[in-house]
Chains A and B, each alone.
Chain A
Amino acid sequence: MARIELTGLEYRVGVTRILNDVSLAVEEGECLALLGPSGCGKTTTLRVIAGFVTPDSGDVCIGGASVLALRPHRRNVGLVFQDYALFPHLTVAENIAYGLVRRRVPREAISRQVGAMLETVRLTGMERRRPQELSGGQRQRVALARALVIKPDVLLLDEPLGALDRILRDQMQVELKRIRRDLGITTIIVTHDQEEALSLADRIAVMFDGRIVESGAPEHLYARPETRAVMAFLGASNIVEGRIEAIVGDVATVRVGDFAVRAGHWGGKNAGDAVQIGIRPEAITIGPADSGSVENTLAGSVDELVYKGPHTEVYVRFPGGRDMIVRVQGRPALAKGSVVTIRFALEDVLVF
């Protein structure tokens, strides 16, 4: 268990800047998600920490000491690969024992630790199986056990749940949280799945084009992203272009086509600035105008209803052709074409 600190990592391949001044600290016992689209440099960052990629400049410290000069096998880092990379010619027990054998742990201690680890990941009784004979979820557990049994300073997970189907993914998410909490190990999870990041991490760092654009607690990043890109990446959102008409007191008025949208905060923008505003679909409710409220109300017509089980996505079209997605619990009694009023609080309007 140790603190990880990345400072000013730079890495280029040819003229392509893979990592662009990546700096990051993960506190002892913290779980950080590096979230970003594929090709954003998140996996490269992980590989730099593990020692498979040497950055052009910058430093990697684990537990206060630079590990940049250490070869991968000396770094004491627990790594779970996206494809698990289990050794196909070894049994489950031999896979888990691999790191202990390399550390010349005595045989009895190895079998004791492997047994305990199998219990932790709930695979007792599977020790003699080969990886090919396991389901995806079981392989994932073996990979996790193999990485954890060496008592690494940090745990690095590369798209840990990406290869699993939905139901298994939900189960493993809970499992992963439990195991991590029990061990209290400093963890970095690399993922392109915002749901995975939001549910597993204590903190999320969003990466685009080799650069960390924003980081913060999941609920903060989701509710109050500072950039449009982060908002769009972290889930469904309505983002439209507008211009700030006036800022009066605590309220900024943004002109969007025929409408004036009032926002409770405006990210340091000034009157007259061209801006984008973003509203989460679940922050919007459908209902008649509530006279005298401080909310925004807009009238439009229902263009499409997409039923998703727990909720329905209502596509509301406004004069001028703009669409907004509204998320409504259950299945609303709305017909296509019916005229509705939507409303949303000033607080829920984000201005970029």
Chain B
Amino acid sequence: MSRSDDPSYRMAVGVLGWFGMAFLVFPVLLTIVVSFGGSVFIEFPPQSFSLKWYANIAEVQQIGRAVLISLGVALATAAIATVMAIPAALAITRHDFPGRGTLVAFLVSPVTVPMVAIGIAVSQFFVWIGGGTGWFALLVGHTVLVSAYPVRTLVASLSLSNPSLEEAAASLGATRWVAFRTVVLPQLMPGLVSGFLFAFLISFDNYPISIFLVKGGLTTMPIEIFNYISQNLDPTPAAFSTIYVLIVSAVIVLAERRFGIVSLSVKG
């Protein structure tokens, strides 16, 4: 009998698992409940229910503007990071080259370097080259931050895919480019999609780096939400967060259905 068959072991793991899930999900549920509160102050449990805070999102124009800016930055960031990740992942999985281990470690490092450090570094860099802050600085900063994620998901995708597929394509008359397009790229779809999503989401709600790079009139969603919370006590941000959570969940469910990305991010 292996240990995973032991009923008490299974129970302990099960309890821990559900406890962990609850720990992660509880704040989200709380936010959702609070967003429907009728009071002008955040209260739990709500004494009355209302949808007015959802209507209020539209009234707070700086949030709307910031969301559009964040969307633009996050889409551009994710696109650049994902495209850059393809050759990087191919090099890492298909070739052994000097410094490969270092490169892999480096690509994983933004995960371990404090974001504030990246924020300061990028803002200093732009001051140094005289570029100042703004949209382009946000794009660069976020790209530095998220670049590792698509590489990791693509490396996972590539190491799951069979290298002899490319050779099979070649033996059937496909040039390298055609083989890449018709055989390798379709194998990479789960990695591309999940890498893009990772990059997009991390960029979209990043605060610590953005705070160094925004300037007056050009702020991102998380910064505006934070500003709003520091000046107002009503549940509008909760309503906004609820919508955000719903949209992101829907996108992830769809991506999983279509591309099976979850198994990949676990392996990555």
Contacting pair A81 B174 (CB below 8 A): no
B160 to chain A, nearest CB (A): 10
* Complex: A86 Cα to B167 Cα, angstroms: 11
Contacting pair A73 B175 (CB below 8 A): yes
User: With a CB–CB cut-off of 8 A, which chain B residues contact A150?
Assistant: 172-173
User: With a CB–CB cut-off of 8 A, which chain B residues contact A51?
Assistant: 170-171
Contacting pair B186 A98 (CB below 8 A): no
User: With a CB–CB cut-off of 8 A, which chain B residues contact A50?
Assistant: 167, 171
User: With a CB–CB cut-off of 8 A, which chain A residues contact B183?
Assistant: 87
- Please tell me if A112 contacts chain B, counting CB pairs below 8 Å: no
User: With a CB–CB cut-off of 8 A, which chain A residues contact B170?
Assistant: 51-52, 71-73
Question: Given the known A-B contacts A52-B167, A72-B167, are A85 and B162 also in contact in the complex, defined by CB atoms under 8 Å?
Answer: yes
Q: A155-186 interface mask toward B, CB cutoff 8 Å, 1 = contact, 0 = none?
A: 00000000000000000000000000000000
Q: A36-61 interface mask toward B, CB cutoff 8 Å, 1 = contact, 0 = none?
A: 00000000000000111000000000
Question: Given the known A-B contacts A81-B167, A85-B167, are A73 and B173 also in contact in the complex, defined by CB atoms under 8 Å?
Answer: yes
Contacting pair A98 B162 (CB below 8 A): no
Contacting pair A73 B162 (CB below 8 A): no
User: With a CB–CB cut-off of 8 A, which chain B residues contact A73?
Assistant: 170-175, 179
- Please tell me if A79 contacts chain B, counting CB pairs below 8 Å: yes
- Please tell me if B40 contacts chain A, counting CB pairs below 8 Å: no
- Please tell me if A83 contacts chain B, counting CB pairs below 8 Å: yes
User: With a CB–CB cut-off of 8 A, which chain B residues contact A242?
Assistant: none
Q: Considering the complex, give the chain B residue whose CB is closest to the CB of A156.
A: B171
Contacting pair A85 B178 (CB below 8 A): no
> Looking at the complex, which one of A76, A85, A89, A103 makes contact with B168 (CB distance below 8 Å)?
A85
Contacting pair A88 B187 (CB below 8 A): yes
> Which of A76, A89, A147 has its CB near the most chain B CB atoms (within 10 A)?
A89
* Complex: A288 Cα to B191 Cα, angstroms: 73
Q: How many A-B contacts at CB < 8 Å in the complex?
A: 62
Question: Main SS of the interface on chain B?
Answer: helix
User: With a CB–CB cut-off of 8 A, which chain B residues contact A128?
Assistant: none
Question: Given the known A-B contacts A87-B183, A89-B186, are A102 and B178 also in contact in the complex, defined by CB atoms under 8 Å?
Answer: yes
Count contacts on A: residues with CB < 8 A to the other chain.
26
Contacting pair A85 B174 (CB below 8 A): no
Q: Considering the complex, give the chain A residue whose CB is closest to the CB of B169.
A: A98
* Complex: A81 Cα to B168 Cα, angstroms: 8
User: With a CB–CB cut-off of 8 A, which chain A residues contact B182?
Assistant: 98
Q: B169-208 interface mask toward A, CB cutoff 8 Å, 1 = contact, 0 = none?
A: 1111111001100110011000000000000000000000
- Please tell me if A327 contacts chain B, counting CB pairs below 8 Å: no
Contacting pair A102 B172 (CB below 8 A): yes
Within 8 A of B (CB), among A56-100: 71-79, 81, 83, 85-89, 98-99
Contacting pair B165 A87 (CB below 8 A): yes
> Which of A50, A72, A75, A76 has its CB near the most chain B CB atoms (within 10 A)?
A72
* Complex: A103 Cα to B178 Cα, angstroms: 12
A89 to chain B, nearest CB (A): 4
* Complex: A77 Cα to B171 Cα, angstroms: 6
Question: Given the known A-B contacts A88-B187, A89-B187, are A102 and B174 also in contact in the complex, defined by CB atoms under 8 Å?
Answer: yes
> Which of B170, B173, B175, B182 has its CB near the most chain A CB atoms (within 10 A)?
B173
Question: Given the known A-B contacts A88-B187, A89-B186, A89-B187, are A103 and B171 also in contact in the complex, defined by CB atoms under 8 Å?
Answer: no
> Looking at the complex, which one of A52, A89, A99 makes contact with B172 (CB distance below 8 Å)?
A99
A141 to chain B, nearest CB (A): 15
> Looking at the complex, which one of B162, B174, B175 makes contact with A83 (CB distance below 8 Å)?
B162
Q: A125-169 interface mask toward B, CB cutoff 8 Å, 1 = contact, 0 = none?
A: 000000000000000000000110010000000000000000000
Contact sample, A vs B, 15 pairs, CB 8 Å cutoff: A51-B170, A51-B171, A52-B167, A71-B170, A72-B170, A72-B171, A73-B172, A73-B173, A81-B164, A85-B164, A87-B183, A99-B172, A102-B174, A102-B178, A146-B168
For the complex of A and B, list the 6 residue pairs with the smallest distance between their C-beta atoms, beginning with the closest: A99-B172, A102-B173, A85-B168, A79-B171, A72-B170, A85-B164
> Given A71-B170, A87-B165, list of 18 further CB < 8 A pairs?
A51-B171, A52-B170, A72-B167, A72-B170, A73-B170, A73-B171, A73-B172, A73-B173, A73-B174, A77-B171, A79-B168, A81-B164, A81-B168, A85-B162, A86-B168, A98-B174, A99-B173, A103-B173
Give A residues with C-beta under 8 Å from B.
50-52, 71-79, 81, 83, 85-89, 98-99, 102-103, 146-147, 150
